Structures are given as C-alpha cells and as structure tokens.
C-alpha cells in the first residue's frame, strides 16, 4: 500500500475492524448481502497525509440514492451562507466572476451565488442530490471531479475565479488528479478554497467517528501544503472552523498573485506542538479509541441492565464506525431517530439497528439518547428541550463517554 499523494509506502497504525458502507442503510431483505471491508488507517511518513488503507469503490458510496442532503441542517445553511460571503468579499473582484464548487450536493452553498446572480457551476456525482440542486435553480453537472472533468468544464464554461469545496476533497482518493484538475481550471489569479474535518481535532478529541469509508483522508496544514505545493499551488491562509466537530478552511493560489497569511506558520507550529507527525501520537490515539469503546459499551450495558430505554439520535455516517467498532446493536440501542426520509424504516449499516422518524422519538421519549450527531449539539439541544424536560438525558462519546446531568 502506497501514499495516494507521494507514493511512499504506508504501514497502518490501527484497524477499526470490518466495516460496512457508512451510508449504506438497508432493507431487512438485504441482510446477508452487505459489503464489508477492513477499515485500517495510516499516516504517510513522507508527507504526513492521514489516510485509509483501502477505500470501497466510489460507485458504492456516491450514486443515484446518496443518503445525505446537506440542507438537512439549519446550522450548516447558516455556515455556508457565511462561507459564500467570505468568498465573495475577498476573492470575487473581477467584473463577471465564475465560481465552481466540487461536491455541491443539494446546492446548499452555491444557492447563495445563484441568488446573487453570480455565474456558478456545481460538480456533483450523486444523482438524487444533483437533481434537487437543479430543481432549485443551481447550475450543476452530474459528474465526479477529476482532471478529465476539469478539462471538460474548462472547454464548456471557461476558467474559474474561485473553486470552492466543503467536506468533499477528503472523499476523493486520486488527490493528484484533483490537484491537476484544479490547476487547469483556475484563472492565473484564481483561488482554491476548501474545508474539511481537521486531523488536529480528531486526534485532540478522539473523534474517531470521523474515520469512515467516504473520508479517505483527514487533512492537516502540513499535509495540505505537501499535496498541493508540488503542483504549483501555495497555501495562502488557513482558518479553523467549528463545523463537523472541528474543521479547517484552506486557501490556495499561485504565489505571485497573493500574500501568505501568518496563520499558516502559526498553525504549523500548533501541529508540531500537537505531535501530528509523530508515531507516538497515533499510538496514544489508538489507546484513546480503545478506551472510548470500552467506556461506551460499559455504559450502555449498565443502562440496559437497569431496564432503561436507550435510543440513538441521528443515523449519521459517523455512527456507522462507532456502532461497528464497538459492536453495538439493537440489544443496546432500541432504534435510531433520524429526520432523513431516505434512512427511515431501514436498518443501520452492519449492526441493523432500526432507523425511525423523529416523530417516534417525540411520541415516546426514551430515558437516554446517544447523540450521534454531536457536531450539531447546540442546534439539537435547542430544539429538543422537551426531551430534557421529560427527564431524558443525552449520552455523549466525544471527547469522553459521559451522560449529561438531568435538568432540575
Ligand atoms: N458539500 C456538501 C456535501 C458534502 S457530502 C456539504 O458540505 O454538506 C460529500 C459530497 O461529495 C456528496 O454529495 C458526494 O456525492 C460528493 N462527491 C463524492 N466524490 C466526488 C467527486 N469525485 N467529485 C465531486 N463530488 C464528489
Ligand atoms: P452526517 O453526520 O452523516 O452528515 O448525517 C447527519 C444525519 O443526522 C442526517 O441523516 C440527518 C440527521 N439529523 C437528525 O436526524 N436530526 C438533526 O437535528 C440533525 C442536525 C441531523
Ligand atoms: Zn505521502
């Protein structure tokens, strides 16, 4: 196995065991036919890139029925409206700018540019979310981004002032093809701005649930510099984000047209202090994951022994890693409540916990709810006050396994 960026040979430092497709919610008739692969992770000794050893084929994850619609979170809608403002104010200075987004999903981010009448194009391979974007007037091409797609977009639409992306670049295994495609598609002074879950947060919070099939990479400032600088794109700025439990926004462009912010060196110093390139850091991370697993199973087993009703809140892709790594099934969690109709009345990948509508959660509040969508905690707690008033308590597992104190 070799690094997907620099081709140095890789040695996995831990395995999360056999895992199904994280967003592969199934009908009961499909039990027995599920695809599993071993979820092993490694950090490249050459370029520092954190990556999965094997990733299932893209067509198994991104297809006509992708289970995740970005607009399902109000908090993310606000985040993306602020992201669009940031891009427009800082980088769209030409008379008639053109913005391309990679992995635009249902149009949550590009909708802002469409509303401002700014020329834009989304590149989105999953048919159902692509169609939703088109319905809302967001110009979108149904394709996987790669160097080839970039050539086609250049021919048909011309070059971009800004290429933007959120929670997508970490999904694309051929990162060198992505980099080459971006270099071709950007105007000379154009910028590439992307954000993704940040390795420093995953290591710092033991949020190992960010590791699943779709996330083939977890980036940090050091690895992003190494990946893109060999293609002539300089890292100009880095801006930490609170989304998805801690993300990083990276701004890249050709050095002769831009200044480099001090933020880049400051963040690299933080990564050195965190030990993001040391083997010992990942040995400690593995130990922390094992402790988190033992603590969560112990807690849920105790609650069950006390005859408490425990459900899961939000059937996130992240929860697939947790449930399968910890071997938690419907013996410990009755069902998982989720607002996405695509997941409801199906079974969770691998462990086959029933997924039910949010109405079922409200109709009969449980004693405990495991907060799988912990990255949306503020949004969820504000809309679920009645659950807490009914005596319900949240179970958390990031950064530690714990139960919220009941409200008085
Ligand atoms: N940007 C959205 C969606 C993130 S989910 C948000 O932040 O909410 C990841 C998206 O990337 C999915 O919609 C998936 O279909 C898309 N995707 C996966 N591989 C891709 C590729 N090679 N090129 C473009 N999009 C891709
Ligand atoms: P993700 O973490 O894989 O992006 O998926 C988020 C899932 O969480 C999605 O299926 C919708 C669900 N969800 C809820 O059920 N309730 C909520 O309040 C939020 C924010 C998300
Ligand atoms: Zn490498």
Q: Looking at the CA of 277, which ligand is closest? A: 3
Residue 52: name the closest of 89, 91, 22 by CA. 22
**pLDDT, mean of residues 373-395:** 95
Record the pTM: 0.96
Residue 277: name the closest of 225, 212, 211 by CA. 225
pLDDT tens by residue, 265-276: 999 999 999 999
Q: What gap in Å lies between CA 396 and CA 406, rounded to an integer?
A: 14
Residue ranges of E strands in 230-320? 234-241, 247-253, 310-313
* Atom number, ligand 1, closest to the C-alpha of residue 109: 1
User: Where does the pLDDT of residue 406 fall: very low under 50, low under 70, confident under 90, or very high at 90 and above?
Assistant: low
Q: What gap in Å lies between CA 265 and CA 269, rounded to an integer?
A: 6
pLDDT at position 407, please? 60
Lookup result for tokens 């509303």: 115
| Residue 163 contacts residue 102 (beta carbons within 8 Å) | yes
pLDDT tens by residue, 364-377: 999 999 999 999 99
* Atom number, ligand 1, closest to the C-alpha of residue 103: 25
CA–centroid distance, 272 to ligand 3, in Å, is 17
Q: Which of 23, 73, 348, 385 to mutate to test the pocket of ligand 2 (most atoms within 8 A of CB)?
A: 73
Which residue has a Cα nearest atom 17 of ligand 1?
103
pLDDT at position 169, please? 98
Residue 102 in contact with ligand 1 by CB distance below 6 A: yes
pLDDT tens by residue, 13-30: 999 999 999 999 999 999
Residue 196 in contact with ligand 1 by CB distance below 6 A: no
Residue 250 in contact with ligand 1 by CB distance below 6 A: no
| CA 261 vs CA 89, 236, 239: distances in Å | 17, 6, 10
H or E segment to which residue 231 belongs: none
Q: Which residues touch 266 (CB under 8 Å, ≥6 apart)?
A: none
| Residue 107 contacts residue 122 (beta carbons within 8 Å) | yes
């Amino acid at each position: 196995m070799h690094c997907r960026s620099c081709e140095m040979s890789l040695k996995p430092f831990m395995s999360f065991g056999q895992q199904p497709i994280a967003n592969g919610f199934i009908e009961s008739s499909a039990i027995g036919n599920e695809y599993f692969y071993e979820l092993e992770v490694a950090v490249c000794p050459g370029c520092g890139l954190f990556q999965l050893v094997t990733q299932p084929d893209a067509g198994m994850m991104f297809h006509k029925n992708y289970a995740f619609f970005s607009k399902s979170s109000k908090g993310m809608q606000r985040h993306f409206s602020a992201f669009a403002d940031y891009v427009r104010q800082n980088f769209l200075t030409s008379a008639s700018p053109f913005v391309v987004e990679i992995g635009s999903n249902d149009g949550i981010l590009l909708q802002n540019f469409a509303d401002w009448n700014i020329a834009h194009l989304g590149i989105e391979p999953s048919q159902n979310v692509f169609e939703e974007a088109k319905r809302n007037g967001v110009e979108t091409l149904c394709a996987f981004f790669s160097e080839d797609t970039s050539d086609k977009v250049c021919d048909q639409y011309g070059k971009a002032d800004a290429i933007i992306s959120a929670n997508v670049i970490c999904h694309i295994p051929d990162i060198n093809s992505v980099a080459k495609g971006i270099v071709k598609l950007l105007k000379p002074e154009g910028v590439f701005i992307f954000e993704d879950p940040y390795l420093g947060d995953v290591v710092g919070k033991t949020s190992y649930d960010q590791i699943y099939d779709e996330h083939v990479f977890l980036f940090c400032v050091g690895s992003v510099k190494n990946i893109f600088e060999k293609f002539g794109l300089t890292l100009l700025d880095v801006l930490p984000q609170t989304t998805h439990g801690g993300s990083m926004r990276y701004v890249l462009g050709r050095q002769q047209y831009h200044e480099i912010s001090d933020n880049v060196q400051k963040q690299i110093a933080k990564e050195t202090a965190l030990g993001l390139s040391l083997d010992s850091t990942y040995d400690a991370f593995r130990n922390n994951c094992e402790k988190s697993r033992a603590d969560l199973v112990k807690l849920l087993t105790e609650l069950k022994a006390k005859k408490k009703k425990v459900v899961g809140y939000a059937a996130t892709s992240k929860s697939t890693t947790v449930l399968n790594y910890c071997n938690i099934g419907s013996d410990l969690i009755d069902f998982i409540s989720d607002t996405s109709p695509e997941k409801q009345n199906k079974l969770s990948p691998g462990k086959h916990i029933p997924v039910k509508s949010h109405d079922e959660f409200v109709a009969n509040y449980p004693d405990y709810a495991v907060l799988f969508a912990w990255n949306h905690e503020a949004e969820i707690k504000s809309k679920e006050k009645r659950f807490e008033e009914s005596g319900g308590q949240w179970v958390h597992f990031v950064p530690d396994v714990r139960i919220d104190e009941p409200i008085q």
